[in-house]
Each structure stands twice: as structure tokens, then as C-alpha cells.
Amino acid sequence: MKDFHLNRRTLVRGAMAAGATTLLPSPGRAANFANQTITIICPFGVGGGSDLWSRFNAPFLSKYLPGKPVVVVKNFPAGGSVGGANLFVGTAKPDGLTVLSSSGSTQFPYLLGEKRVKYDYKLMRFFLASPTGGVAYISSKFGVKSVKDLEKLKGVKLHYASQGATSLDLAPLLGFRLLGLDVQHVFGFPGRGEGRMSFERGESDIDYQTTTSYLRSSQPLVKNGEAVALFSWGAIDASGQLARDPNFPDLPHFAEAYEIVYGKKPSGVEWDAFSAFLLSGFPAQKLMMLPQGTPDDIVEAYRAAMRQTFKDPEYLARRDEIIGEYEQVTDKAGEELYHKASTISPEARTWVREFLTTNYKVDFE
């Protein structure tokens, strides 16, 4: 953290010494980042999904932001990404020179109202959202062929290798419960990769993987008959509704799976709680924001840079490798996703906190 503060002071002194234009442009003045360095704060370690995503987008921001600034990624992994996000809101100035790159594991503590969270998504200035997807699957040993057969699992105890009750695995924890599955969540696994290996060893018998990992490592299990795909988490369509994941058009999305099981559309406070974490964990899993108070011209410069990025041949050639066959979004569509991913009703928040405290001894005090 010390290095970050020193770098910020050095950058500001350098800009002033060079006679740079005012760091907070007045409304209507075009933003320009010539001879500037922009820092993307990634509150995760080097080499993880969020780090790779940040480093994938950084060169395109450098290419398309006015003045072609240098864009660097700095990793501040602390407190499950909460520490880095707290650092951002505590130190970043609204001058366009500092960006926060967050993920679902940054958004979940915010949605849960954890005391350690010092950031408020409602106050940040959004410019990029990146979706992901995933597929839930079960061991074929139970004779289940599709989600239509879940009735066969009544009275069956399933096991899921989880990272923790308030981690990104909160979405499957709530989702499996909504479908009436009796799942014992075994906590302490460091990631979904380790969860998949637990499934392959037969230690757990229900699992999910994000799209890229599923296609690479789990779909072969389905093809050779060791596992059965149940549903995808879904994607958000142009109208803002949950729809089938374009990577898995033959699989029902979660809301369809619920309707298949119960014969009605999902509703109620439990569904509202799950939906908040579903949206934050998948359709809007990764976000980039500028600090509170960033002027509109700077925000627009970032959004314009992303609009140009989305048409860049190099970006299009590498996108699927990094984020799968999903479209990153900005502007109004991204703003709506951003709002959905950072919003939970007071009733839903109260329900999920009480549920986690009662069933998993989570302490929010």
C-alpha cells in the first residue's frame, strides 16, 4: 500500500511540473491523458482470473483513451479483495488516473453489508462490465439424465466442494437450496479448480464450473458419461432478463430449471436474495469503475475507449480466450448490469444474512 501512495504523489508532482492541464477538467472540456500513467487497482493476486482480465483490457485503454496514456495494473490482494477496494475509495482521486477492477467476490461482501466494506458501488462511476457464465452438473451415478429427473434425488445427500459460505460459492449454495436439493457444502477449497478435482476423485458429487473451465475440463466428463449437465446460470438478454447462455443453448438457465421442477416461475424473498448474487456472480461478475466525483467527460472518454475496443481486431481475436463468447458492455446496457449487480433489497439482505448466520454460523457483527 505504501508503494501505491508514493506512486500517486509522484504522478501528480510530475504532471504539475510538466505544466499538465488541470486534473479535473470542467464539464464540456475533452479529457486528455497525454503523458499520464493510469493505474488499474486489481484487488486480487497476480495470475488469477481478475488479474488476467484487467491485463487484457489495459492495453486497449492505453490505445484508445485520449492522449494514449501508459496503463498499468497494480495488484493489492487483501481481505478477499475487500482490502484493495477499500484502498481505492480511500486514496483514488477523481482525475481519471485510477481505476478499480472488481469481481463478484468484491461485490458479495458489499451486498451482504459486511462491516469491513468501506466502498459504495452506488457512488462510483461505471464504465465496463464483463459477464461470465457457468454450468452445474452432477455425478451420473444417481441416474439423473436432466433437471427433469431431480425428483430422483429426494432423500439423497449431495456433497459440494466450496470455497466458503460468503464466497462466490454463495450463488450455488442458495441456488441448489431453491431447487430442493439436499447439499452439504464442504468449505475450505481454494478455488473451483480444486472443486472440480474433488468431483473427479468422487469426494463430491455435484459441482459447477465457469464457462471456460467447464468447456475445457468438465464437459469431457459429461461426454464420457461420468457427469450430467443440469443447467447453466444463464445470461442477461438485451431486455435485461435472464436468458439461455449462448455458449449452452441446449441447457435451461436457472429460472427455467426452477420452473421445470416446480411448475411455476420463481418468486419471493429467497428468490430475490439468490437473484442478487446470481447477477453479481455471473452476468456482471467483473466491473471497472472510476472514483466518486469523476467528471462526466472523463467517464465518457473511458466508455468511448471501450466502444472502440469492442471493434478492435486484436481484441476480437483474443476475447474468447480470456472471457469466453460473451460481450463486454458499457454505456446504458452496462449501467443496467452494474445497477443489478450492486443492488439487493433490504428484505433480501436480511433474509440471506439470517440464513447464513443460522445455518453456517457466519458472524456479521
- Are 161 and 204 spatial neighbours (Cβ–Cβ below 8 Å)? yes
Q: What predicted TM-score, i.e. pTM, was given to this entire model? A: 0.85
> Reduced to 3 states, what is the DSSP secondary structure of residue 331?
helix
Beta bridge partners of 158: 183
Across residues 137-147, what is the average pLDDT?
97
pLDDT in tens, 260-273: 999 999 999 999 99
Q: Tell which residue, 217, 211, 205, has the closest CA to residue 320.
A: 211
pLDDT at 35: 96
Separation CA 215–CA 38 (nearest Å) = 35
Amino acid found at 246: P
Q: What is the predicted pLDDT for the residue at 29?
A: 61
Domain 2-131+284-346 matching CATH 3.30.1360.10: the answer reads no
Q: Do domains 2-131+284-346 and 134-280 have the same CATH topology?
A: yes
CB contact at 8 A, 271 and 178 = yes
Please state the φ and ψ torsions of residue 354, each to the nearest 5 degrees.
-65, -40
- Flag whether pLDDT at 216 surpasses 90: no
Q: Tell me: pLDDT of 13 over 80.
A: no
Regarding predicted confidence, which is higher, 6 or 336? 336
User: Which range, of 76-80, 147-151, 190-194, 244-248, averages the lowest pLDDT?
Assistant: 76-80
b/e per residue 303-325 (b: at least 16 CB within 10 A): bbbbeebeeeeebeeebeebbbe
Alpha carbon distance 104, 280 (integer Å): 6
Matching residue, cell 421442477: 261
Average pLDDT over residues 19-40: 68
Domain ranges of the chain: 2-131+284-346, 134-280
Residue with the larger pLDDT of the pair 321 and 317: 317
At residue 301, what is the residue type?
A: A
Calpha distance 262→258 (Å, rounded): 6
Q: Could you please state the CATH topology (level 3) that the domain comprising 134-280 is classified under.
A: D-Maltodextrin-Binding Protein; domain 2 (3.40.190)
User: What mean pLDDT do residues 40-51 have?
Assistant: 90
Q: How confident is the model at residue 159 (pLDDT cuts 50, 70, 90)?
A: very high
The whole-number average pLDDT for the span 319-334 is 86
pLDDT for 8 equals 34
The three three-digit cell numbers of residue 30, written as one number: 475533452
CA distance 292 to 123: 5
Query: What SS3 state is found at 199?
Result: helix
Q: How confident is the model at residue 354 (pLDDT cuts 50, 70, 90)?
A: very high
pLDDT at 9 over 70: no
Q: What is the band of 320 on the pLDDT scale with cuts at 50, 70, 90?
A: confident
Q: Which three cell numbers stand for residue 67?
A: 492522449
